[in-house]
Amino acid sequence: MELARGAGPAGALGAPALKRTKDESKSRSRQRWRKAKAKASRLTHSMDLRTMTQSLVTLAEDNMAFFSSQGPGETARRLSGVFEGVREQALGLEPLLGRLLGVAHLFDLDAETPANGYRSLVHTARCCLAHLLHKSRYVAANRRSIFFRTSHNLAELEAYLAALTQLRALAYYAQQLLAANQPGGLFFEGDEGLTADFLREYVTLHKGCFYGRCLGFQFTPAIRPFLQTISIGLVSFGEHYKRNETGLGVTASSLFTSGRFAIDPELRGTEFERIIQNLDVHFWKAFWNITEIEVLSSLANMASATVRVSRLLSLPPKAFEMPLTADPKLMVTISPPLAHTGPGPILVRLISYDLREGQDSEELSSLVKSEGPRSLELRPRPQQAPRSPSLIVHIHGGGFVAQTSKSHEPYLKSWAQELGVPILSIDYSLAPEAPFPRALEECFYAYCWAIKHCAFLGSTGERICLAGDSAGGNLCFTVSLRAAAYGVRVPDGIMAAYPATMLQPTASPSRLLSLMDPLLPLSVLSKCVSAYAGGETEDDSDSNQKALGMMGLVQRDTAALLRDLRLGASSWLNSFLELSRQKFQTNSVPVAEPMRRSVSEAALAQPETPLGTDSLKNLTLHDLSLRGSSKITDTPELSLSGETLGPSTPSDVSFLLRSEDASEEAEVRGEQSTKDKAHGGGIAFPEGFHPRRSSQGATRMPLYSSPISKNPFMSPLLAPDSMLQSLPPVHIVACALDPMLDDSVMFARRLRSLDKLVTLRVVEDLPHGFLSLAALCRETRQAAALCVERIRLILTPPGTAVPASPPI
């Protein structure tokens, strides 16, 4: 009894301890499992492609033989069949990837930057093979266990087999691109009809397998839960959109709450594919603008750095004068934006970590636009900081159709804190209601206003950096090109994160990855570009139109009206020829008065000129590279309309291929052409291979590009050499798995061929748009820190040591 009584308290005290012991044991077990999985992953990724394929084939054959011997059951038959399919696809894919990897180095910027779409496609296929290898090992080790989850493993194997099949199809497409393109070119440059045929074939491929169980398999594991949440939110939003429930209140309460999409990956993948193929740009505009909802934006700001100044300003549409860089005594008039909608105020956001001189001035306060309770984060402070010698002008991304500086405010606040520099972020008008060139006009106007009024912004303006991501990176380049055309100060440097430099629905190796990219599918990219170009905005009358609601229909009708006015953009751009000839005419004194005319006035008054106008419609990147050097070497004499280039002589520099690599690639291309003929001449796939096709019907995607998308102020990659010579130092941060990677690589190669200062840093395993995910994980924080480092490099005066970045 004494023992029993003594055991009572001991047992009571021992129960929590026993529970802690069990918890610790489980924790150690999980840690061991994670370490073993990480070790297996490292070993898998260290394998060469052939060894990995052979290991997978051996395991597949072993598993196939095992399940074939398990009797006539349906599950065993399907498992045997899936391993047979894995074996077949792996053996067919390995030589394709080997050939692509063998020539991939010919398309790199340099030996220190091994990145292009061919490498990315091979890496993605390796990730899929590695996952199948890991799963095959697991099945081989556990298939006899009573705890083996047959249905779960079968579903996962079938999903990754479908993904591997589609990746093999993409490898064949990449092989076709390699054979058809100009030497060293990454973009498909056949005539427009062939391009449309290529895209029409490509978009019929099945995509749903990449948006279910395989979602984000190519990205770093820390990103995948976020992508799953986004995909569930997207399909849930799509359901409410169809039911005409697009009000922000309904969206905020119903988003991410559709449980059936969370528990059924196949259903989620099918619905995701339907949405990206069939819903128009207005849907994506509404979905991407969810981050603008007050609740979500407030939560994001709570987790971001605290700044002293965050003010939304409204710039009045008033003309002002700027001095010419070549002769500061001469002035040029910067007129307010006029394209499509006429003069109107431009919204910009001023962000500063410290309250600096000028930022609380009456002049600036008079421009403040109310945003409600959080519009002003200006707090009293005993002493103002002096003006910064630097200023960052930021242009946000969003596919030209969505988002504002509010969406990008969290990482901009971090920039302001880390760099100690005021930031002015521009809220340009968005397509399709305000297509090209409205955004360019507004960004250029705001950029010039910032330089002229930098004292109000807390800066002396000694160093100016233009920074932007995605569509904003495109606008950074074109604003700089326009500043050079006007003769005003260009920025001291540009930092562009994953920029779009080729706004045409044309294929490239990296754009093939859009088949599986949940953040930037090709059909969505094409719809955004078409909207920005003023092209069609899904005029087909069907049931989806009803989902737009009253405001959506008004927006659509407005876009249709504006589309009728888009031809005015070409006339607007023609005025640059007049400006350029007056500004750079040799042996004459520049006349100030004509330079004061607004762009639209110049376009209306411009007489016809006898200049030759070779059509851009059939020009390729290779053609443009040979047309860049003007006879006047100092400055370009160039017509900037959507259809013409001014007279020029061939350039001695070809940006497409280094001379020492030309013969090597020619041999590869010759061999590839012979193999294509052996497969049936022009047929994308060999006999016996059939990729999976989409069950969602024809994709509603513009297959032909608008002529204006070939304008260098819309697609800076197509600008002649003489224009690109005017750009300041350019620093690009791209993503290896981004469908827009080839835009960055080709643009950097062009600048490098012109002896321009350009750097290209490529981050691994992250998706397009990582700046908006900067707080998500260590990898995104490191990538965001790389952007900050590039900006710091621009803002550091020449001859001064660049300050060390703080540890992450």
Cα(502)–Cα(747) distance, integer angstroms:
9
Q: Identify the sign of the CA torsion 137, 139, 140, 141.
A: positive
Beta-sheet pairing, 730-735 with 758-763: parallel
Give which of 208, 236, 126, 131 is closest to 171, Cα–Cα: 126
Q: H helices within 520-610, ranges in order?
A: 522-532, 543-546, 549-564, 568-584, 592-595, 599-605
Cα(410)–Cα(414) distance, integer angstroms:
7
In this structure, the dihedral spanned by the alpha carbons of residues 710, 189, 632 and 744, taken in order and rounded to 10 degrees, is: 80
**Mean pLDDT along residues 704-720:** 89
Angle at CA of residue 45, ends 44 and 49, nearest 5°: 90
Q: Which tokens in the block code for residue 460?
A: 């002396």
Query: For residue 389, what is the enclosing H or E element?
Result: strand 388-395
Cα(246)–Cα(237) distance, integer angstroms:
8
pLDDT of residue 807: 60
**Mean pLDDT for the chain overall:** 78
Is the pLDDT score of 494 beyond 50?
yes
Is the pLDDT score of 421 beyond 80?
yes
Is the pLDDT score of 281 beyond 90?
no
Is the pLDDT score of 704 beyond 70?
no
The answer to whether 380 touches 473, Cβ cutoff 8 Å, is no
Angle at CA of residue 393, ends 306 and 769, nearest 5°: 70
- Those residues whose C-beta lies under 8 Å from the C-beta of residue 292, and which sit 6 or more positions away, are 403, 404, 406, 407
The answer to whether 498 touches 768, Cβ cutoff 8 Å, is yes
The answer to whether 744 touches 716, Cβ cutoff 8 Å, is no
**Candidate from 483-497, 649-663, 731-745, 790-804 with smallest mean pLDDT:** 649-663
Cα(41)–Cα(39) distance, integer angstroms:
5
Is the pLDDT score of 632 beyond 60?
no
- Those residues whose C-beta lies under 8 Å from the C-beta of residue 137, and which sit 6 or more positions away, are 40, 59
In DSSP notation, 152-182 reads HHHHHHHHHHHHHHHHHHHHHHHHHHHHHSP
**Mean pLDDT along residues 182-191:** 80
The answer to whether 206 touches 540, Cβ cutoff 8 Å, is no
Is the pLDDT score of 367 beyond 90?
yes
**Candidate from 307-311, 372-376, 555-559 with smallest mean pLDDT:** 555-559
- Those residues whose C-beta lies under 8 Å from the C-beta of residue 655, and which sit 6 or more positions away, are 625, 749, 750, 752, 753, 754
Residue with tokens 């970045």: 805
The answer to whether 468 touches 704, Cβ cutoff 8 Å, is no
- One-letter amino acid at 455 equals A
Beta-sheet pairing, 493-497 with 459-469: parallel
3-state DSSP call for residue 602?
A: helix
Express each pLDDT in 143-179 by its tens digit.
999 999 999 999 999 999 999 999 999 999 999 888 8
The answer to whether 306 touches 343, Cβ cutoff 8 Å, is no
Angle at CA of residue 407, ends 403 and 410, nearest 5°: 160
Is the pLDDT score of 697 beyond 70?
no
**Mean pLDDT along residues 469-491:** 98
pLDDT of residue 549: 42
DSSP 384: P
Express each pLDDT in 13-38 by its tens digit.
455 555 556 556 556 655 654 555 55
pLDDT confidence bin for 116, thresholds 50/70/90: very high
Percent pLDDT > 70 in the chain is 69
Is the pLDDT score of 412 beyond 80?
yes
As a whole number of Å, the CA-based R_g of the chain is 29
**Mean pLDDT along residues 715-734:** 97
Query: For residue 7, what is the enclosing H or E element?
Result: helix 2-46
Cα(592)–Cα(594) distance, integer angstroms:
6
The answer to whether 202 touches 703, Cβ cutoff 8 Å, is no
Is the pLDDT score of 761 beyond 90?
yes
Residue with tokens 């069609």: 536
pLDDT confidence bin for 756, thresholds 50/70/90: very high
pLDDT of residue 296: 58
pLDDT of residue 641: 36
pLDDT of residue 627: 39
pLDDT confidence bin for 197, thresholds 50/70/90: confident
The answer to whether 778 touches 791, Cβ cutoff 8 Å, is no
pLDDT of residue 316: 96
Cα(73)–Cα(677) distance, integer angstroms:
43
**Mean pLDDT along residues 174-191:** 83
pLDDT confidence bin for 362, thresholds 50/70/90: very high
Cα(608)–Cα(579) distance, integer angstroms:
14
Beta-sheet pairing, 331-334 with 758-763: unpaired
Cα(526)–Cα(503) distance, integer angstroms:
8
Q: H helices within 208-337, ranges in order?
A: 224-242, 248-254, 259-263, 265-278, 281-288, 294-302
Cα(305)–Cα(497) distance, integer angstroms:
21
Give which of 702, 749, 707 is closest to 730, Cα–Cα: 749
The answer to whether 123 touches 748, Cβ cutoff 8 Å, is no
The answer to whether 611 touches 646, Cβ cutoff 8 Å, is yes
pLDDT of residue 713: 97
Q: What are phi and psi of 755, to 5 degrees?
A: 60, 30
pLDDT of residue 682: 42
In DSSP notation, 241-274 reads HHTT--SHHHHHHHTT--HHHHH-HHHHHHHHHH
- Helix H, strand E, coil C: the string for 425-472 is EEECCCCCCCCCCHHHHHHHHHHHHHHHCCCCCCEEEEEEEEEEECHH
The residues assigned a catalytic role are 470, 738, 768
